[in-house]
Copies of this chain bind each other. A is one copy, B any other.
């Protein structure tokens, strides 16, 4: 009996398919009826496994947030590492999380607006906290002289922008592995912040 896919619980199937649909159609543009149809069942049956449509979204958002924080911690926890190295590791970790499940990442980055309060505000606070971590790294890097930028906050925005656009173009079946992508992005972005060379004005 060749089984091509690992057997998943019904709930896991629902979550995976919901993630895919939320990504392509948006949260508000995805109905529970079409989700159920994609799974070969009726919409009413979904509620044997989940509480609500919003619960699906909530899980995607807050579970990915945890992964982002865990990766950032691992990248930056070891004392004594050069700041620019920590920043490189943080970039690479961010890319790893984004590429782990690119549909979930796209949902995470755009569909949070559909969370009800207080989850919505909570999510935004987490996001700000995570970004502040990157900002601190860039600031520390300029303070130590490893990095150069006239505006650390602006540079951080640019950096995160490059990273967070990834779900729009990344394909798991593309030629580059997630680690290669992370490496390249880190290279290019850090090159733009490198302190050794002066830009020609």
Contacts and interface: CB of A to CB of B under 8 A. Distances in A.
Given A160-B165, A165-B157, A188 B184 contact: no
A172 to B, nearest CB: 16
A28 interface: yes
B196 A191 contact: no
The 7 closest A-B pairs by CB, nearest first: A161-B165, A192-B192, A197-B197, A28-B29, A28-B28, A161-B162, A158-B162
A24 B188 contact: no
Task: Please give the count of copies of this chain that the complex contains.
Answer: 2
A185 B157 CA distance: 10
A161 B166 contact: yes
Do most interface residues of chain A lie in helix, strand or loop, or is the interface mixed? helix
12 contacts: A24-B113, A26-B26, A26-B113, A110-B110, A154-B184, A161-B169, A164-B165, A188-B193, A191-B199, A194-B200, A196-B197, A197-B197
